[in-house]
Chain A
Amino acid sequence: MRNRLVTLTTVTVIAAAGVLLTTTAGTAQAPAYRAPRAADGKPNLNGIWQALNTANWDIEAHAAGPSVVRELGASAAVPAGLGVVEGGEIPYRPEALAKKKENYTNRLKLDPEIKCYLPGVPRSTYMPFPFQIIQSQQHIMMVHEFAGAVRTIYMENHVEAPADSWMGWSNGRWEGETLVVDTKGFNDLSWFDRAGNHHSEALHVIERFTARSPETLMYEVTIEDPKVFTRPWKMSMPLYRRVERNAQIMEFRCVEFVEDLIYGHLRKQPSK
C-alpha cells in the first residue's frame, strides 16, 4: 500500500514536471482547439484577458526576493517564478547584459512602470492588469488597464511605422487559428520587466495569439534586436479570460499617482 502511494506520487510528480516543461518550453505546436468564429469567419479572440505569472517581475527564472522599497516589506516582495523565456536565458550581448545589471541595481529610479510611462510591448500583455481585445475586420484593438495603454493592430493597409513610439506600430494577419502581430517602430525607453531587461529602438516583436480553450489563449513572442541580443529569442505563456460577471477594464490613470514623485521637488515652498 505504502509502495503504491509512493509510485502514484512519483507518477504525479513526473506528470507535473512534464506539464511544466511544456509550459516553460512554450511548445509552438498548434493546439487541437478550434476557436469560435467571429462574423467574418476569423477566430474570435474578443474578451478580457490577463496573464497569471511573475513575468512582470522578471521574465527570466528567478527566486523570491525582498521588496525594493524597505517600508513595503512582504507586500511588495518579489514572488519566485520559473521564467517565461524559452531556453531559460536571454542571449544578451556583453555590453547589453552590463546595462541590464545596471538597470536592475537602479530599478527604483529607472523602471518606467514606476513613472506611469506606457509599458511597451510585450510587457503590456503580461503586466498584472487585464486588457481587452476588441476585434473588427480592419482593426484589432488591445486596450490595457495599465496607464490606459492602447494598441491598434492594423489588419489591412499595412504600412511602416510613421515614427517611433512606446507601444510601437503593429501590423497583424491571421495564420489559421493564430493572430500574428508584427510590431516595430519602438523607442528604446520601455523595459520588459521590473528586473531591467531592456531593448533598443531596433526592437522587432512578433506575437502569436492562439486560442487553446474557451477561456485561455496561448501567447508566444519572438524578440529580435541585433543591437542588444546575439540572436532572436522567444517567450511564451498562457493568458486567461476574466470570466467574472460584468468584468470590465477599469481606469488606472496613474499619472496622478506619480506627480509628487516626479515633480514634488519643484513644489513651491511656503515663504519663511
Chain B
Amino acid sequence: MKHRCLVSAGAAIVFVAAWPTAVPLAGQGAPAAGASAGRAYTVPRTPDGQPDLQGFWTNSTYTPLERPDKVTKEFYTPQEALEAEKQAAARESEQTAPGTVADVHYDFSQFALDRSQAPLARSLRTSLIVDPPNGKLPALTPLGQKRAAEREEVSKRIGRWDSAESNQLDDRCIIMRGPGPPMMDAGYNSNYQIVQAPGYVMILTEMIHDVRIIPLDGRPQPHGNVRQWMGVSRGRWEGDTLVVETTNFNGKNPFVGSSEQMRVTERLTRVSNDAIRYQFTIEDPGTWVRPWSAEAPMMKTEGPIFEHACHEGNYGLYNTLVGARLEEKKAAEGAAKKGSK
C-alpha cells in the first residue's frame, strides 16, 4: 500500500512536468490543424535525406479508444485529464485486489505492469477516436453484426481454457496489441524502435519482438492469397509525413471486430524532438458503415528494447491448461463419489 502511494505521487509529478510537451500535441484537434502546428518544427533528416523518425517511442496511454459515455467534449482541461488518468490508474491497480484473477497472476503495482509506472504518451483527448466526432465507433454493417454475434456464440460454447487454441492470442504468445496495424497501447511494454535505411522504415514492437518492415518504393500489394497477421504494409513520404497503407490481413487478429477486408492508413509525423503524431484511418466495409479515424501520440522514451521471448517461456498457458484439466478431474471424481453414496 505504501508503495502504491509513492508510485501515484511520483506519477503525478511526472504528469504535471510532462504537460508542456504534451499540450501542443493534444491541442491540435483535427489533422489539418495539426499539420500547421507541426510546421514550426524542422524535422531532422536521416543521412540519406528521409524525415527522421528514428529512436525509441511509446504509445502507452490511459486514453480510451472510445469516448466515455458521460463525456461530451473532445478535450479535457489539464486538471480534468489528471483526474481521468488518476481514476484509470486506480482501476488498473484494482486488478491486484486479493481474491481476483490478477491477484494470483500478476501484482499490477509491480514490474511496471501498471501503466502509471512507465512513461505515458499523454494527450488531452477524451478518446483516441477523432472521427466520427462523437468519439465512438461507427455502427456495424449487417456483416459486422453477424460476426459479432458469431464471436459471442463461440465464446459461450467454447471455454477459454479448453485448449491452447481457444485461448486469447496474447496468452498464446501469437500476437499482441502493440504492432497492429494500427499500433495501439499494448497494456504494458508499449514500446517501439524505429530504424530507417534507404527505401525502408522498420518498426520493432517490444511485445513479442514483432517487426514491421515498410518498403517505400511504391511496389504493389501482393496477390490476395498472401494474408498475414499484420497484413502487408506499403509506405510513402507525403512531405514530412510517413503514410503507410496496409491490407492483406488474415482476419485472425480482428482489431475491435474488424474483418480481413480492413484497410489501415497510418500517418506518422514527427512534431517535436520528443513526439510523433500517429493518426490512423480504418476502412472496413465488412464491419463498419463508414471509415473512422483515431489519433494516438507516440512519445520519445528511453531505449534499448530487450528481447521479449514470449512463447519460449509461456509457462502461463501450460499451467492454466494443466489446472483446468485438474479441476475437471476433481469435479468428475467428486460427482462419481456422490453417485456411489
Chain A residues proximal to chain B, CB less than 8 Å: 38-40, 46, 116-118, 132-139, 141, 143, 148-150, 152, 154, 162-163, 165-167, 189, 246, 248-251, 253, 255-256, 259-260, 262-264, 266-268
10 closest A-B pairs by CB: A39-B47, A266-B321, A263-B164, A165-B307, A268-B162, A39-B48, A259-B164, A251-B228, A267-B163, A134-B202
Nearest chain B CB to A165 CB, angstrom units:
4
What chain B residues lie within 8 Å of A133 (beta carbons)?
197
Closest B residue to A117 by beta carbon equals B312
**Contact across chains for B164 and A262 when beta carbons are under 8 A apart:** yes
**Contact across chains for A165 and B193 when beta carbons are under 8 A apart:** no
- Does B145 count as interface, using CB distance less than 8 angstroms? no
**Contact across chains for A152 and B172 when beta carbons are under 8 A apart:** no
A237 CA to B199 CA in the complex, in Å? 27
What chain B residues lie within 8 Å of A148 (beta carbons)?
208-211
**Contact across chains for A134 and B306 when beta carbons are under 8 A apart:** no
Given known A-B contacts A150-B204, A267-B163, A255 and B195 have beta carbons under 8 A apart = no
Binds A, one of B96-104, B136-144, B322-330: B322-330
A260 CA to B163 CA in the complex, in Å? 9
- Does B317 count as interface, using CB distance less than 8 angstroms? yes
Closest B residue to A258 by beta carbon equals B311
A206 CA to B192 CA in the complex, in Å? 27
What chain B residues lie within 8 Å of A248 (beta carbons)?
213, 215
- Does B8 count as interface, using CB distance less than 8 angstroms? no
Given known A-B contacts A163-B306, A166-B307, A143 and B325 have beta carbons under 8 A apart = no
- Does B112 count as interface, using CB distance less than 8 angstroms? no
Nearest chain A CB to B187 CB, angstrom units:
19
Q: Specify the main secondary structure of chain B where it touches its partner.
A: loop
Nearest chain B CB to A247 CB, angstrom units:
10
Given known A-B contacts A143-B213, A152-B304, A251-B228, A263 and B197 have beta carbons under 8 A apart = no
**Contact across chains for A40 and B47 when beta carbons are under 8 A apart:** yes
Q: Mark B186-200, 1 if CB is under 8 A from A, else 0.
A: 000000010111111
Q: Mark B156-169, 1 if CB is under 8 A from A, else 0.
A: 00010111110000
What chain B residues lie within 8 Å of A165 (beta carbons)?
306-307, 309
What chain B residues lie within 8 Å of A39 (beta carbons)?
46-49, 198
Q: Specify the main secondary structure of chain A where it touches its partner.
A: loop
Given known A-B contacts A118-B312, A250-B228, A268-B328, A263 and B321 have beta carbons under 8 A apart = yes
Can you list 28 A-B pairs, Cβ within 8 angstroms, ordered by A?
A38-B47, A39-B46, A46-B198, A46-B199, A118-B309, A118-B312, A133-B197, A134-B196, A134-B197, A136-B195, A136-B196, A138-B54, A139-B195, A143-B202, A143-B211, A148-B209, A148-B210, A166-B312, A253-B174, A253-B175, A253-B229, A256-B174, A263-B318, A264-B163, A266-B324, A267-B162, A268-B161, A268-B163
**Contact across chains for A166 and B47 when beta carbons are under 8 A apart:** no
A162 CA to B321 CA in the complex, in Å? 32
Which residue in B213, B220, B317, B321 is a CB contact (below 8 Å) of A134?
A: B213
**Contact across chains for B318 and A117 when beta carbons are under 8 A apart:** no
- Of B193, B197, B213, B317, the most chain A CB neighbours within 10 A belong to B197
**Contact across chains for B229 and A266 when beta carbons are under 8 A apart:** no
A268 CA to B229 CA in the complex, in Å? 27
What chain A residues lie within 8 Å of B215 (beta carbons)?
246, 248
**Contact across chains for B322 and A259 when beta carbons are under 8 A apart:** no
Given known A-B contacts A38-B47, A255-B174, A263-B164, A132 and B311 have beta carbons under 8 A apart = no
What chain A residues lie within 8 Å of B305 (beta carbons)?
152
- Of A39, A132, A266, the most chain B CB neighbours within 10 A belong to A266
**Contact across chains for B211 and A150 when beta carbons are under 8 A apart:** yes
Closest A residue to B304 by beta carbon equals A152
A263 CA to B322 CA in the complex, in Å? 9
What chain A residues lie within 8 Å of B46 (beta carbons)?
39, 136
- Of B49, B196, B229, B311, the most chain A CB neighbours within 10 A belong to B311
Q: Mark B207-232, 1 if CB is under 8 A from A, else 0.
A: 01111010100011010001011100
Which residue in B163, B230, B307 is a CB contact (below 8 Å) of A251?
A: B230
